[in-house]
Structure 1
Amino acid sequence: MNTPTDTHTSFTLAGQPAARGIAIGRAVLAPSSRMDVAHDFITPAQVPAELARLAAAREAVAARLQRLRADMPRDTPAELSAMLDVHLMMLLDEVMAAETARWVRERHYNAEWAIATQLEVLSRQFDEMEDAYLRERKADVAQVAARLLRELRGVPASPLSAPAPLQALQDGAAAALPAPAGGSEASLVLIASDLSPADMLQFKKRVFAGFATDEGSSASHTAIVARSLDIPSVVGAGQASQRIRQDDVVIIDGDAGLIHVNPGPAMLEEYRGRRQQAERQRQRLAQIASTPAVTQDGQPIELLANIEQPADTAAALAASAVGVGLLRSEFLFMGREGRLPDEEEQYAAYSAAVQGMRGLPVTIRTVDVGADKPLDARHPSPHQNPAMSLRAIRWSLSEPAMFLVQLRAILRAAAHGPVQMLIPMLAHGSEIRQTLELIARARAQLQARGQAHGPCAVGAMIEIPAAALTAPLFLRHFDFLSIGTNDLVQYTLAIDRADPAVAHLYDPLHPAVLRLIAGTIAAGRAHGKPVCVCGEMAGDAAMTALLLGLGLRSFSMHPARILAVKQQILQSDASRLAAWAQAVIASDEPAELLAQRP
């Protein structure tokens, strides 16, 4: 019998790496969660019945997700349960439900058409966002809509329900799959158009070695969960689910973002070797989890975690983080159709994060949303550049009543443990003064109320070149600085990091970027105040030696990346790296010198 590598064409697809590692196995194609939607007008007399269908579908899907949430095993990553909560929040949001029902009541659309129309409205709002993380939340709305449509169609099962090879695996019959040429690969890899957090729960219960999706990016919820589960994966691979056939032999290269389909024996052997090497490396890294992060010349290094929601504190502690360097507060604000979280809701969320870290410090970034974010139904002018418009601290200062609510909630949470406050996108001295005045006012309001609150160090994000170039000004007013390298690269090089047409120009090693980072770190040292890097560069082990050589002593990153960075720290002599690091940032071609570290 011929194997797939004998009869099927070999080819390679490129996507975005979501979770590192190598997976080799047979393809399992997940049925698409998307459905054709009937666009039918109903009569006024049919409106009550159609609204009842909508409500029943919503209740049924919510009950199903709540059962999934309740039945999750204890070892389920916090990210997954938190994302199920996000889907439940969207599903049960009264504003979203009312807007969907309005299409039925006012336009006389059938229920399916109403859901599809509201999804289109929300999708346009998400597409206009500058922030890549928030823009990817469009996928969560689409997944909730898909579940409602399946319920209305009477096929409520998960998109992962029982494709044939998957069911065979559950029945212990995975060995029935024919082995590829050059060795035995009983593992399976999942190929899908997209995966929701609920699908990922099903995914965790199966025995998949890896997965690839047509949609998504490295900032999508699917990618975040994949990293928490430590499953090699590639997202945003275009037409993977159309081009790959059931039972094709597939290599998922989560390091390079590549999918090799029906590879030849030589490539299979090479990747098997890389997979074994990666497993040995994983075992070695696990042995240093409890080892303090100290360089060979005795420099203690602070390794912090970037988290999205309070539930992520469990992953931060498991990765041996010594605190949270960035808690994004946007999760409380997004997709609420203008209904902003009140002080009590914010206080409860921030307090949960503080208590979850068991006495370790938590840095809460004030909300990074603005005119381009889905706070209401307004749309920015088509001539606006969302990256340069009313966002982050600019938006907060334009809405002082809203900002005071958040500031009071953060200060109250500080009564439960060590809290720092981080202000995004500052550039002007006037913004600094206004921000500090509002923080003082929020504290005075709490004192007048007699409400408990705690001390809170205040820091500024350095993500605009103007801020980096005037770091001494910031250090006179703030307790610490945190460099957001993702936006700093974007603004320095005038590159929209979400635009695939110019993504190849996004270069963290550009001399201008490195010199701005080096200058900010040096300014912090001169003023005796800490500087942290919380962007993607902090979690890139290839950049660790350079950042150490530049004097960085505080790194904040996704929990899954902490051990790899710690290994680099333990192998480094920071004092010997200093001269080399200066040569790198002085070079016109820093990338060439990066590999020549002492």
Structure 2
Amino acid sequence: MSIQIFGLPVSRGVAIGRAVLVASSRVDVPHVFIDPTLIESEVGRLLSARDVVATEFEVLKRDLPADAPAELAALLDVHLMLVQDEALVGASADWIRERHYNAEWAVSAQLEVLARQFDEMDDPYIRERKADLEQVVERLLRSLSKGKPSAVPDGGEHRDFGGDEPLVLVASDIAPADMLNFKRSVFKGFVTDVGGKTSHTAIVARSMDIPAVVGARQASHLIRQDDCIIIDGDAGLVIVDPSPIVLEEYRFRQRQSELERGRLARLRHTPAVTLDGERVELLANIEMPEDAPAALEAGSVGVGLFRSEFLFMNRGGNLPDEEEQYDAYRRAVESMKGLPVTIRTVDIGADKPLDGLSAAELRHESVLNPALGLRAIRWSLSEPSMFRRQLRALYRAAVHGPVKILIPMLASQREITQTMEHIAHAKRQLTEAGRSFGEVQLGAMIEVPAAALTLPLFLKHFDFLSIGTNDLIQYTLAIDRADEAVAHLYDAWHPAVLQLVANTITQARAAGKGVSVCGEMAGDPAFTELLLAMGLRSFSMHPTQVASVKQRVLRADTRRLAPLLDQVLYSEDPEAACESLLSQTNGGASPVARRA
């Protein structure tokens, strides 16, 4: 029977495929696709773990004291039977062979299948055996975690993995570390129970240009492994087991979307200039050095945000050393072929935690609201050796091309002073060591209302500003952007947010300092004309969003837009006011855009 599940639309388009469930577990489970040549060795890992667990149960039963309850021995027999059952281990091996899952993922996937079967049993005694199954699986996972880790391919596109059918990922939530593994994988869409429009899952889905719905509450419980599902990323709708008519309708929409992408791709090498001759800088947000070629391919004129924290993730607590960071930054700079690269210092915390780090990091993990805890520049200042190591690597990379360093989440003079002291110290260390380094421009992210309200302080110390609208909205409206319970209150059109953004742009331009927007607002075409009216001439977004925004830029006339700005900023409903004014001022597309 077909069912519909509603959530938040966070990445547009339509995805159709078989559901792949990533089940929650009390044991941290890595989700990676293994190299096809190593399938049988991965099956061997699984079988070895089974044998270890079976031996554990046999030893436990053998060593039971004479006066132990008979029920305890019977329970161990049940667990031994479960771990040796082909429905668990044999079927898990099938997931490895057919989908190329690593062993841990395969066991978790099969647990999901069997748990659903137990839930549907009429006999309450049999239903309760699901707890035994979960305990056995937990032992299996722990045994696997102690052995040799799965072999993972060395980068590249994993499009040949997972079988022939399109796959869509369904999970309660997706950890940033897993998103790194999934980023170049076979998945055509994402569905999560939790999250908001600017949660990490949503941002990465947009960067991959694939449909996604988050905050879908019970999706991972209502959808089964291998269900046929449709993800409508425009409406925030997930359709499970669609009828043939609905399926064909959405396939038609997919084809239309592909045609539109083709039309936009023709603008790739067209300069972003408004109808009245204002040149606009469209930059790219990237997460790894390997993303730089996509930024160039999209027609961006530089990198406006390199999120360096992704170099620190999914490493089991082993932070990258100076040489590894230098090599990553150098590769990104060289890949951009002389175009500027803005690299943000590590911004961990909130929805981007690190695994198994220092005591300071562990303290940050325990904060009731991580968004207000030890994150971004606060964490860097609490870990001076780590911070200086990154700064040295950044300055060394500047030898290979234009580099800008962006400091996140600054809020006070004290933090600015401490940051500048660390920068000076790092440069002295390079000089004393005889290391070559280049000059960089220093920038501050404006993402805390305290910063937006004390701009002269920031303009005094920094060469440029970059407005991080995701966090600025979160902190201005007191909304945790990753919490689906309040996600409907997250409002980029709120007058307070728009006035802070407009004031930041105005003051930066008056001071002769560069200013850009690097949050999700920059890549949303609905805001393009409004930001242009505010005076913004530098937008930074995911490479997949560049063409859509460029189309709006080419059709805009800033001379007609600017006088209408106050009517939007001080309206009770800025979004409606903006739509109304644009409909009145729309003079049609530029000749270039029309030809496209």
TM-score (normalizing by structure 2): 0.69
Q: CA 1:384–1:573 in 2, change beyond 3 Å: closer, same or farther?
A: same
After superposition, the Cα gap between the structure-2 partners of 1:244 and 1:296, relative to the gap in structure 1 and judged at 3 Å, is: same
Contact 1:29 1:241 in 2 (8 A): no
Q: Answer yes or no: is 1:396 the counterpart of 2:380.
A: yes
The answer to whether 1:557 aligns with 2:541 is yes
Seen in structure 2, the aligned counterparts of structure 1 residues 232 and 500 have a Cα distance that, compared at 3 Å, is: closer
Instruction: Report what 1:358 is aligned to.
Output: 337
- Deviation at residue 150 of structure 1 after TM alignment: 11
Q: Which residue of 1 aligns with 2:358?
A: 376
Is the contact made by 1:16 and 1:218 (CA closer than 8 Å) also made in structure 2? yes
Which residue does 2:455 correspond to in 1? Answer: 471
Answer yes or no: is the 8 Å Cα contact 1:189–1:211 preserved in 2. Answer: no
The RMSD of aligned alpha carbons is: 4.3
Kept in 1, the 8 Å contact 2:20–2:167? The answer is no
Q: Does 1:254 align with 2:233?
A: yes
**Matching of residue 297 in structure 1 with residue 276 in structure 2:** yes
**For structure 1, which segment, 230-239 or 409-418, has the greater mean C-alpha deviation from structure 2 after superposition?**
230-239
2:44 is matched with none
> Structure 1 209/513 Cα, relative in aligned 2: closer, same or farther at 3 Å?
closer
Segments of structure 1 that go 5 or more residues without pairing to the other structure are 1-7, 38-56, 72-103, 109-139, 159-165, 171-186
- Change over 3 Å in CA distance of 1:169–1:479 after alignment to 2: closer
Distance in 2 between residues matched to 1:294 and 1:552, nearest whole Å? 13
Structure 2 CA distance, aligned partners of 1:144 and 1:430? 50
1:20 to 9, 12, 27: 12
Q: Is the 8 A contact 1:188 1:210 kept in 2?
A: no
**1:231–1:305: structure 2 CA closer, same or farther, 3 Å change rule?**
same
After TM superposition, the structure 1 = structure 2 runs for residues 163-562 of structure 1, keeping only pairs within 5 Å, are: 170=164, 190=168, 192-193=170-171, 204=186, 212=191, 227=206, 230-235=209-214, 237-240=216-219, 242-244=221-223, 250-261=229-240, 271=250, 274-334=253-313, 336=315, 339-369=318-348, 374=355, 375-376=357-358, 378-380=362-364, 385-562=369-546
Larger Rg: 2
Tell me which amino acid in the other structure corresponds to 1:421.
Answer: I
Task: Describe the SS at the equivalent of 2:363.
Answer: coil
Aligned partners of 1:567 and 1:286: how far apart in 2?
10
Partner Cα distance (1:407, 1:381) in 2: 24
Bigger mean CA deviation after superposition, 240-249 or 531-540: 240-249
Does residue 572 (structure 1) correspond to residue 518 (structure 2)? The answer is no
Report how far residue 403 of structure 1 moved: 1.9
Of residues 436-445 and 462-471 in structure 1, the stretch that sits farther from structure 2 once superposed is 436-445
Give the letter aligned to residue 295 of structure 1. Answer: T
Aligned to 1:595, the other structure's residue is in SS state: helix
Q: CA deviation at 1:571?
A: 0.9
State how far apart, in whole Å, the 1-side matches of 2:285 and 2:461 are: 24
Q: Deviations over 1:393-438 (max 9, x none)?
A: 2232333333222111110110111100001111112222222232
**1:585 counterpart letter in structure 2:** L
How far the C-alpha of 1:593 sits from its partner, in A, is 0.6
Tell me, in whole angstroms, the C-alpha distance in 1 between the residues paired with 2:230 and 2:520.
Answer: 26
Given that 2:276 and 2:559 are in contact with CA atoms closer than 8 Å, whether structure 1 keeps it comes out as yes
Rounded Cα–Cα distance in structure 1 between residues aligned with 2:184 and 2:348? 33
Return closer, same or farther for 1:333/1:294 CA change in 2, 3 Å cut-off. Answer: same
Segment of structure 1 superposing worse, 282-291 or 251-260: 251-260
Whole-angstrom CA distance in 2 between matches of 1:498 and 1:141: 30
Cα distance in structure 2, aligned partners of 1:429 and 1:198 = 35
- Superposed CA offset, 1:188-223 (max 9, x none): 66464488679959963xxx8756465777678876
2:3 is aligned to 11
Q: CA deviation at 1:469?
A: 1.2
Distance apart, 1:498 and its partner CA: 1.5
Cα distance between partner residues in 1 of 2:477 and 2:180: 38
| Aligned-pair CA distance for 1:144 | 10
Cα separation, 1, equivalents of 2:365 and 2:171: 32
Q: 1:420–1:389: structure 2 CA closer, same or farther, 3 Å change rule?
A: same
The answer for unaligned runs of 5 or more in structure 2 is 40-55, 61-101, 110-139, 152-159, 586-596
Contact 2:21 2:225 in 1 (8 A): no
Native 8 Å contact 1:212 1:235 kept in 2: yes
The equivalent of 1:52 in structure 2 is none
Q: Determine if contact 1:459/1:479 at 8 Å carries over to the other structure.
A: yes
The corresponding residue for 1:137 is none
1:581 equivalenced with 2:581 (yes/no): no
- Kept in 2, the 8 Å contact 1:482–1:531? The answer is yes
Alignment deviations for residues 485-520 of structure 1 (CA, whole Å, 9 cap, x no partner)? 011111111111112222111111111110000000
Q: Which amino acid aligns with 2:272?
A: A
Q: Distance in 2 between matches of 1:520 and 1:281?
A: 35
- How many angstroms does 1:239 deviate by? 4.0
Contact 1:16 1:235 in 2 (8 A): yes
Distance 2:544 2:379 in 1: 32
From the superposition, tell whether residues 523 and 68 of structure 1 become closer, same or farther in structure 2 (CA, over 3 Å). farther
**Mapped contact 1:483–1:531 kept (Cα < 8 A):** yes
Q: TM-score, normalised by structure 1?
A: 0.68
Q: Is the 8 A contact 2:229 2:241 kept in 1?
A: yes
Contact between 1:423 and 1:460, CA under 8 Å: does it hold in 2?
yes
Say how many residue pairs are matched: 473
